[in-house]
């Protein structure tokens, strides 16, 4: 009986590679279901991405059984804001809505303080727009 750990190979999905520790990315939080790390192009002082460890292309691919996962992603993001002494009320949360996404792996953006976001960032991460959906909207579709 072999006790060797199978080798995990890089894939074309950068976020799957981060989950599998194949990228040099600082993980801020992880458990069996999710992983959190900093956005490489922050839209404010604090900008994190919360992703499921299981590959899900985007918010349109979620199914009703994913509701608890999506709720956990938001709850974890809010906990990290609180732990970093940032206001949940002055934060922006959302998912890029297909086809308006650069990475095909579901990810929740958490940006704080929202009040420090620049004009371009406010456009890219515009609340309730065709391209940036709120967590509440995403959950309402499940």
In a domain, residue 35? The reply is yes
- Residue range 32-45: average pLDDT? 96
Describe the strand order of the beta sheet including 27-30 as a list of residue ranges.
27-30, 34-38, 46-52, 108-112, 92-96, 132-133
User: Structural domain of residue 50, as residue ranges?
Assistant: 27-140
Q: CB–CB of 138/106 below 8 Å? A: no
Please indicate, yes or no, if residue 13 is contained in any of the structural domains.
no
Assigned domain for 22 exists: no
Residue 97's CATH number: 3.30.428.10
Catalytic residue status for 107: yes
* pLDDT tens-digit series, residues 55-90: 999 999 999 999 999 999 999 999 999 999 999 999
Size (the chain), residues? 142
**CA separation for the pair 81, 103 (Å, rounded):** 23
Q: What confidence category does residue 99 fall into, taking pLDDT thresholds of 50, 70 and 90?
A: confident
In a domain, 117, yes or no: yes
Query: Is residue 129 domain-resident?
Result: yes
> In total, how many domains does the chain have?
1
Annotated catalytic residue within 47, 105, 107, 109? 107
This prediction has a pTM of: 0.91
């Amino acid at each position: 009986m072999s006790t060797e750990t199978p080798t995990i190979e890089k894939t074309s999905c950068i976020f799957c590679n981060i989950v599998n520790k194949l990228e040099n990315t600082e993980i801020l939080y992880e458990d069996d279901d999710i992983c959190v790390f900093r956005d490489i192009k922050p839209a404010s002082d604090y900008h994190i991405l919360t992703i499921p460890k299981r590959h899900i292309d985007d918010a349109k691919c979620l199914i009703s059984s994913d509701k608890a996962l999506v709720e956990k992603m938001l709850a974890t993001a809010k906990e990290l804001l609180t732990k970093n002494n940032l206001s949940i009320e002055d934060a922006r949360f959302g998912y890029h809505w297909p086809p308006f996404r650069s990475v095909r792996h579901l990810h929740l953006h958490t940006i704080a303080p929202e009040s420090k976001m620049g004009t371009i960032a406010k456009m890219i991460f515009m609340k309730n727009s065709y391209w940036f959906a709120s967590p509440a909207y995403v959950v309402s579709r499940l």
